[in-house]
Amino acid sequence: MFRAIATSLIAIVTMFAMLAVYLQITLPRKSEAPNINFTLTPEMKERGVYLAENVLVCDDCHSQRDWGKFGGPIKKPQGAGRGCVTSEVSLTGRLRDENQFSGIAINSEDYFPEYLCVPNITPHPTGIGDWTDGELLRAVREGINIDDKAMFPIMPYHIYRDLTGLDALAVISWMRDLPPVDEVAPPRQVKFPMNVLVNRWPRPVFAVSKPLNADDEVEYGSYLSHQARCNYCHTPRWGQTLEDSPNLLMAGGVSFMIGKYAVRSTNLTPHEDGLKDWSREAFIRRFKSYEDYDSNAVNTWMNWKAYSGMTEEDLGAIYAYLQSLRPVPTPGS
């Protein structure tokens, strides 16, 4: 009897050890950083600024934010990095204490990652100054950093992998043109099992299976809204994963803490809880109304200021896409 138990224990331990070795060898899945040789047109550069600042809102994470102002517009210097993601700020963006954005790092007690700082992505040697375009492209779309390590998926590379190649290169040119800032982010500290699990997410982008048809408004609106991460806040997560709950796409109801206050994202489906009665014009106007808005009265987690710079055509495409969704009531309401 004792021997049988001992044998099974040894078998189980061996299995786990083999699995660990297997994961160490095969993960993260990565390809060589590509050798890129491209000439940027002025149009591409302009698109890069537009995408990075008004659609993909890279700044939202990679800059300090002014949480005393409506929607937390970014503070200069742009792209120089931000405080650290800790127990105070979770994956879904729970913000318990506004002071964390002072740039002071906080250690976590009850939430992963233990310590993850959003790095400087300006073209200074302490930022991305020494990275090649290929390394940047691989980082943004595949989640592998310059040291060949898996990046933490708070950096939404699993979303940016669907960026068209041209759009991704345009965004890289935006990083290269930022004013360089000397700012070293403390190295990340992620404990077991997260330090192993983090290797699961990166995946090489081999080829775009279906090219984007930008002339199809709903398809283009879906692309923009996916890349702008509207669903990241407006769709409940599937359990503890990074995935959207499939039946609740854009159904809203996700809670965010801003200091002591909770704010819930709204329903963006064509349900009566959501945008059923909204005209295209009203939708566009709502965004555009924040272009020159300067208030410290109310606050929200949504960076209206950044999104207000989207073109009316692009906002219209997002509207068309949202209206094409299945209407669902807001969960928990």
Residues that bind ligand HEC (CB under 6 A): 52, 56, 58, 60-62, 93, 116, 118-119, 121, 128, 136, 139-140, 145, 151-152, 154-156, 160, 171, 175, 188, 225, 228-230, 232-234, 256, 263, 265-266, 268, 286, 300-302, 307, 318
Rounded to the nearest whole angstrom, what is the least distance from the CB of residue 1 to ligand HEC in the complex? 48
First vs last C-alpha separation in the chain:
56
Rounded to the nearest whole angstrom, what is the least distance from the CB of residue 331 to ligand HEC in the complex? 15
Q: Which is nearer to ligand HEC, 23 or 93 (CB)?
A: 93
Residues facing 262 on adjacent strands: 257
What Rg, from alpha-carbon coordinates, does the chain have? 21
Rounded to the nearest whole angstrom, what is the least distance from the CB of residue 206 to ligand HEC in the complex? 20
Q: Which is nearer to ligand HEC, 21 or 156 (CB)?
A: 156
User: How would DSSP label each residue in 265-276?
Assistant: PPP-SSSTTTTT
Residue 245 CA to its chain's centroid (Å): 17
Rounded to the nearest whole angstrom, what is the least distance from the CB of residue 154 to ligand HEC in the complex? 4
Rounded to the nearest whole angstrom, what is the least distance from the CB of residue 145 to ligand HEC in the complex? 4
What type of residue sits at position 260? Answer: K
User: How would DSSP label each residue in 283-330?
Assistant: HHHHHHTTTT----SS--SS-HHHHTTS-HHHHHHHHHHHHTSPP-PP
Rounded to the nearest whole angstrom, what is the least distance from the CB of residue 50 to ligand HEC in the complex? 12
Q: Which is nearer to ligand HEC, 50 or 301 (CB)?
A: 301
The beta strands (E) that lie in 73-141 are given as: 82-85, 116-118
| Residue 107 contacts residue 115 (beta carbons within 8 Å) | yes
Element (DSSP H or E) covering residue 256: strand 255-258
Treating both helix axes as pointing N-terminal to C-terminal, what angle do 133-142 and 165-177 enclose, rounded to 10 degrees?
120
Q: Which is nearer to ligand HEC, 140 or 251 (CB)?
A: 140
What type of residue sits at position 214? Answer: A
Q: Which is nearer to ligand HEC, 6 or 76 (CB)?
A: 76
Q: Which is nearer to ligand HEC, 45 or 229 (CB)?
A: 229
